[in-house]
Amino acid sequence: MEREAFWRAAQQVLARMARYLDEVEGFPVRAQVGPGEVEARLPDHAPETGETIEAILADLDRILLPGLTHWQHPRFFAYFPANSSPPSVLAEMLTATFAVNAMLWQTSPAATELEVRVLDWLRQAVGLPEGFRGVIQSTASEATLCALLAARERKSGFRAREEGLFGLPRMVVYASEEAHSSVEKAAMIAGFGRSGLRRIPVDEELAMDPEALERAVRADLDQGLVPCCVVATLGTTGSGAFDPLSAIGEICRRFDLYYHIDAAWAGSALILPEWRHLGEGMELADSFVFNPHKWLLTNFDCSAHFLRQPEELVRALSVLPLYLHTREHGKVVDYRDWGIPLGRRFRALKLWFVLRSYGLEGLRAVLRRHIALAEELAARIRAEPDFELTTGPQLALLTFRYRPSWADPEALDALNQRLLDRVNEDGFTYLTPTRVRGRYVLRLCIGQTRTEARHVEEAWRRIVALARGLAPQDDGDPASAAGRQR
């Protein structure tokens, strides 16, 4: 693409981006396409000759947009948000333009040094003590895998990386029953195996029971196994529960266990002084991760991973062929061995843009708004006699279920599954389910950058209408059932 064509195309793409952000609220939140529909509209072969930007953008609108689920829609309440913001988007454009590979200090000193600096800004903002050093990983899953690898090497005296696990005593990882599936995946990849992961029971609040943890560690020691690592969760995926970080950290110290804290979602809330207490005990961690790409207005991918002793991880992962050796080796940060991939995008730029554009106070204001909206919604749910608030709000996450007096208590799971299907088929809003103490419930997390009170109110009104359309005599037609309520 020649210079003139680039200028023209860039303006069109920028205009399309701005229009998308203006229009996104008008789209169904969840894509309304069936499996294979998008693929069927795409040609079987790549074009032999180049096409115009106009043709490409026309197909973007015609073929791809209907197949997108709109994560930046203000009525997106599913999963955890993966929010974004205009400064972050603009920085991503620059990152793509520079297209540097920040694997070594030398391959782009500014990318490395900006990453060191902005992660230290974040460290201070969330209240981690000095001494922790940060790196941007793609995902919390990768950070957890790195933590387990560092733990494995520490415990094996760095033998696992040399000899594999076969000759070593069996090592064990601990996480609560509510911990994210990425812990299980990391245990599988790092060689602990699923059977080397102990799922520790939770208390009434769905937080890890530290006494149960200690019992599990002792039981493994009695059996000649080697307790290696604990993963605590600050803000569980299902209900946003907070594991007791200090008590767990104290057990880790006592039994010499590597301590990783997965704060993927809730970690962002630690920038709020009024919620800082949630992080009490995080100073005991060896490794701590949270995702600015979830709740800090920074595009996916951006996981902030802090390590007390990054040298351990580097030693665990280090391989140094001649082509990666530079004169500065050992005197600078070379991020190549702080994570799994060698190649690294210049992701610090978007964090820098976001932190500078909003300032910490600007970011706090957004998070506070989300938390206040969740509190207001919780009050509405409590006020409805046929609904039950099952957990929360924990920050901006709550769970609830529909429990009309006519429903057989045994059939509530099926009824709520039916409700979720109707809510999501409708496209007006988007929620995901979870289980709370064995019961199927609906889960709603507020975190999209532009969500305001009216979006939550509209979504709630629609949920209530769809629920009350689920009468026992329901004929299975959502439109007629919901229609009776309007």
Ligand X SMILES: Cc1ncc(COP(=O)(O)O)c(C=O)c1O
Which residues would be at the binding site for ligand X (CB under 6 A)? 80, 139-141, 180, 182, 233, 237, 262, 264-265, 291, 303
Q: How far is the CB of 185 from ligand X (least distance, A)?
A: 9
173 versus 264: smaller Cβ distance to ligand X = 264
Cα torsion through 266, 269, 271, 274, rounded to 10 = -130
Both tokens of 29, joined, read 């939140």
Q: Shortest Cβ distance from residue 82 to ligand X (Å)? A: 8
Pairing, β 258-262 against β 303-307:
unpaired
List the structure tokens of 281: 């005990």
Cross-strand pairs, 232: 261
**Size of the chain, expressed as the number of residues it contains:** 486
Note whether 258 and 151 are within 8 A (CB): yes
238 vs 478 by CB, closer to ligand X = 238
Please state the closest distance from residue 173 (CB atom) to ligand X, in A. 15
Instruction: Pick between residue 303 and residue 448 the one whose CB is nearest to ligand X.
Output: 303
Minimum CB–partner distance for residue 103 and ligand X (Å): 21
Contact in structure between 115 and 104 (CB atoms under 8 Å): no
Residue 16's CB is within 10 A of a number of other CB atoms, namely 13
Q: Which is nearer to ligand X, 186 or 252 (CB)?
A: 186
Q: Is residue 334 exposed (0-12), middle (13-18) or buried (19+ Cβ within 10 Å)?
A: buried
Q: In whole angstroms, what is the distance from residue 235 CA to residue 186 CA? A: 19
For ligand X, give the closer residue by CB, 83 or 291.
291
Q: Smallest distance from the beta carbon of 76 to ligand X, in angstroms?
A: 14
241 and 207 in contact (C-beta within 8 Å)?
Answer: yes
Q: Residue 113 or 184: which CB sits closer to ligand X?
A: 184
Name the minimum Å distance from CB 447 to ligand X: 11
Tell me, rounded to whole angstroms, the distance of Cα 222 from its chain centroid.
36
Q: In the complex, what is the shortest distance from the CB of residue 452 to ligand X, in angstroms, rounded to a whole number? A: 24
Nearer to ligand X, 59 or 203 (CB): 203
399 three-state secondary structure: strand
Instruction: Using DSSP, state whether 232 is helix, strand or coil.
Output: strand
